[in-house]
Amino acid sequence: MAYLIRNVIDGYHDLMDNKSDPRVNDWFLMSSPFPTLCMCLSYAYIVKVLGPKLMENRKPFDLKYILIFYNLVQVIFSLYLFHESAVAGWLNHYSFKCQPVDYSRNPLAMRMAQGCWWYFISKFAEFFDTFFFVLRKKNDHISTLHVIHHGVMPMSVWFGVKFTPGGHSTFFGFLNTFVHIIMYTYYLVAALGPQYQKYLWWKKYLTTIQMIQFVLVMVHAFQLLFIDCNYPKAFVWLIGLHAVMFYFLFSKFYKKTYVKREKKVKVEKEQNEVKPKSNNIGICFTTQTALYEKTNDVKDMSEGYTSDGNRLRNRVFIDNPRA
């Protein structure tokens, strides 16, 4: 057992020290995966357990101006990351078919590596999306999809920066930062107030864009399983399977939020538009019928009775002045 543990420890140090990219080893949070892992686990505990418990007997915070500032910063940050990934590779000299990692200290290679590290940092900044939900007591927004998406990403991106800060898998970050420009613009407009809700009709399409993103990442990643490319297959599977997982999670959210809701609204609308074939509403007491309808179909009751307190009297006799 001790021998096995020693082999695991030696293998871990060999992986971290000899198989990783030496350019990033001294960068913040890149020497070990454990600080990132601890922050991801802490995030999940805070947003699912500690935060809601602390807010249980408190009023929700009004964070309007903080949210406006935060979302504006996220839009600008996403624009910067998209620009860096485009200039350093994807809209410059990168191949969409096969792009190995350039581990040199070439200025463009270093620019892409630094862009990857900033993208990694951005995943921690996105924790505040959920923290704001907690402070505003929007616990119904803290879904399994939301927590998994935000909690898993920093750890996944850490491995990418540590071993492959550039090349084929950065296509995911290239697309993701573009989607985040759109997403945080939506959140920014939403944070401005109810008077701007009329400009947010495209919320449904935002989820669709996110799903298209994951399909493109899947196709782009898994193509390397069928062609020869000097790129680690482990990261092909890592990125590809992440895209598959997030696609199905977002697809489930889409169906639950939009498809089922639209069907429900359609059914309710159809039910409201259906008119009764008969004018007989089905009310038990004939004197109430006239309150709801005017019709000649209501017939006199031949055997109707009422009470004046002491005795039963024939309803036909009372209601018929000719009697």
Inter-residue contact 200 to 189 (CB < 8 Å): yes
Show the tokens assigned to 92: 């410059």
Domain ranges for the chain? 21-272, 286-319
Inter-residue contact 216 to 187 (CB < 8 Å): no
Give the dihedral sign, CA 244/146/162/172.
positive
Torsion of CA 108, 111, 112, 116, to 10 degrees: 170
C-alpha distances out from residue 218 to 130, 236, 246, 315, Å: 27, 9, 10, 78
Percent of the chain with pLDDT over 70: 80
**pLDDT exceeds 60 at position 265:** no
**pLDDT band for position 8 (50/70/90)?**
confident
What number is the average pLDDT over the span 235-263?
79
pLDDT for the residue 296 = 46
Give the mean pLDDT of the chain: 83
State the catalytic residues: 149
Percent of the chain with pLDDT over 90: 58
In whole angstroms, give the CA distance from residue 111 to residue 95.
17
What number is the average pLDDT over the span 214-223?
93
pLDDT for the residue 313 = 53
Show the tokens assigned to 205: 């399409």
User: Collapsing DSSP states into helix, strand and coil, what is residue 231?
Assistant: coil
Cβ atoms within 10 Å of 268's Cβ, excluding its own:
10
pLDDT for the residue 10 = 84
Candidate from 28-42, 152-166, 279-293, 306-320 with smallest mean pLDDT: 279-293
Inter-residue contact 209 to 254 (CB < 8 Å): no
pTM of the model: 0.77
Inter-residue contact 189 to 201 (CB < 8 Å): no
Show the tokens assigned to 70: 């935060």
**pLDDT band for position 206 (50/70/90)?**
confident
